Amino acid sequence: MAEPVEVSIVIPVYNEAPVLDELYARLKKTVQGMGRSCEIVFVDDGSTDGSYEILKRFKENDCTLRIVRFTRNFGQQAAVLAGFRQSRGQVVVQLDSDLQNPPEEIPRLLEAMTPGVDLVVTVPRKRRDAWSRVAGSGLLRWLTQKMLGPTVKLNLSSFRALRPSVVEKINQCRDRSQFMAVLMSWMGVPTVEVEVEHHVRSKGKTKYGYTQLIQLAWDIVTGYSTFPLRLVTYMGIFGALTGFAMMAFLLYQRLVRDILVDGLVVLSAVFAFLAGVQLLSFGFLGEYLGRVHLQVQDRPPYLIEKVIE
Ligand code: UDP
Ligand code: MG
């Protein structure tokens, strides 16, 4: 049995070779200054740029390091989850590997983790990302907050500290939406907020383009609400009412004013509208059916190739 550890630092790594040396050096320095027993859990999310080899090199003379290697790229959320499950510390810290979350702030997160607090989330003093990215994330935040309602205080930052009890709660959620930050916000466990520095990504580039953000948003919408299904009902009502009004209008023209509107024009308009509504409805239904399908298959969110202790 391994010795008990006070703090586990979980870091997902996907093709981050250029920053790893600096990250590791700064982490070690921070950990030494803390005077607490720490383990660092690197989760290599199927990197193909030599990141894994660099991590193994660190491991050669560092027994506080653990490396989890995925069989392929399963995504940041899966990597973070795997890291949480592998941690043994009384407090678990999550941070990005690209140094946008400065490791030097870790002690402040731990300080905020007083007895009775289960989750410490961070708010960047000023977020250093491209304006388009900040806008995209803002939109995602707004949408998610709408879905979750005002009783959930949403925090989407990837820099946080939590207790193992929170990991247990995550494990209880047999949930297909693996957006960790949303899941943890949704739980409503006792939380404090800390302001931290945020840095520009100096090397490598972001793994989140617009497509990934839209995917994430859709995952949240269908994962946390049935609003799109209700939208189908609304559209159905709207379609039916419109059709009814048009028929009434046509009848009126024909019977009272004796005008015959060209049938084809009217028909194509109505048809296009109703066909659109129907296709959209099928689409929404399909999305939810897809979720059920995945849930029934119950495949694990990631596969581990190797854990280096
Ligand atoms: N990441 C990962 N798997 C992925 C994508 C990203 O493990 O499929 C990691 C990445 O190495 C980084 C963190 O998740 O440590 C955040 O990624 P990134 O910096 O690209 O996101 P951004 O800061 O732009 O939100
Ligand atoms: Mg980043």
Instruction: Output the CA torsion 49→52→54→57 (10° steps).
Output: -150
Write down the CATH number for the domain with range 5-224.
3.90.550.10
Among 22, 55, 98, 213, residue to substitute to test ligand 1 (most atoms within 8 Å of Cβ): 98
Q: Whose CA is nearest to atom 19 of ligand 1?
A: 206
Mean pLDDT throughout 216-245?
Answer: 86
Inform me whether the pLDDT recorded for 1 exceeds 70: no
76 lines ligand 1 (CB under 6 A): yes
Instruction: Output the CA torsion 253→259→264→265 (10° steps).
Output: -70
**What pLDDT does 152 receive?**
92
Q: Tell me how far the alpha carbon of residue 72 lies from the centroid of ligand 1, in angstroms.
A: 15
Closest atom of ligand 1 to 79 CA is 7
98 lines ligand 1 (CB under 6 A): yes
Q: Sheet harboring 160-162: ordered strands across? A: 191-196, 119-124, 160-162, 91-94, 7-13, 38-44, 65-70, 304-308
Q: Whose CA is nearest to atom 24 of ligand 1?
A: 206
Instruction: Return the higher-pLDDT residue of 90 and 219.
Output: 90
**What pLDDT does 214 receive?**
87
Contact 141, 154 (CB under 8 A): yes
44 lines ligand 1 (CB under 6 A): no
Nearest Cα neighbor of 13 from 50, 49, 51 is: 51
Q: Whose CA is nearest to atom 21 of ligand 1?
A: 206
Percent of the chain whose predicted confidence (pLDDT) is above 90? 56
Inform me whether the pLDDT recorded for 123 exceeds 60: yes
Ligand nearest to the CA of 95: 1
Closest atom of ligand 1 to 96 CA is 15
Q: Tell me how far the alpha carbon of residue 290 lies from the centroid of ligand 2, in angstroms.
A: 30
73 lines ligand 1 (CB under 6 A): yes
Q: Tell me how far the alpha carbon of residue 42 lies from the centroid of ligand 1, in angstroms.
A: 13
In which band, very low, low, confident or very high, does the pLDDT at 218 lie, cut at 50, 70 and 90? confident
What are the boundaries of each domain within the chain? 5-224, 227-297
Residue pLDDT, tens place only, 14-54 = 999 999 999 999 999 999 999 999 999 999 999 999 999 99
Strands 304-308, 160-162: parallel, antiparallel or unpaired by DSSP? unpaired
Ligand nearest to the CA of 132: 1
Q: Whose CA is nearest to atom 6 of ligand 1?
A: 76
Q: What HEC string does the chain produce?
A: CCCCCCEEEEEEECCCHHHHHHHHHHHHHHHHHHCCCEEEEEEECCCCCCHHHHHHHHHHCCCCEEEEEECCCCCHHHHHHHHHHHCCCCEEEECCCCCCCCHHHHHHHHHHCCCCCCEEEEEECCCCCCHHHHHHHHHHHHHHHHHHCCCCCCCCCCCEEECHHHHHHHHHCCCCCCCHHHHHHHHCCCEEEEEECCCCCCCCCCCCCHHHHHHHHHHHHHHHCCHHHHHHHHHHHHHHHHHHHHHHHHHHHHHCCCCCCCHHHHHHHHHHHHHHHHHHHHHHHHHHHHHHHHHHHCCCCCCEEEEEC
79 lines ligand 1 (CB under 6 A): yes
Q: Whose CA is nearest to atom 18 of ligand 1?
A: 206
Inform me whether the pLDDT recorded for 136 exceeds 60: yes
**What pLDDT does 176 receive?**
62
97 lines ligand 1 (CB under 6 A): yes
d(CA 41, CA 35): 18
Q: Whose CA is nearest to atom 1 of ligand 1?
A: 76
**Residue in the block written with tokens 């190797």:** 306
In which band, very low, low, confident or very high, does the pLDDT at 177 lie, cut at 50, 70 and 90? low
16 lines ligand 1 (CB under 6 A): yes
Ligand nearest to the CA of 207: 1
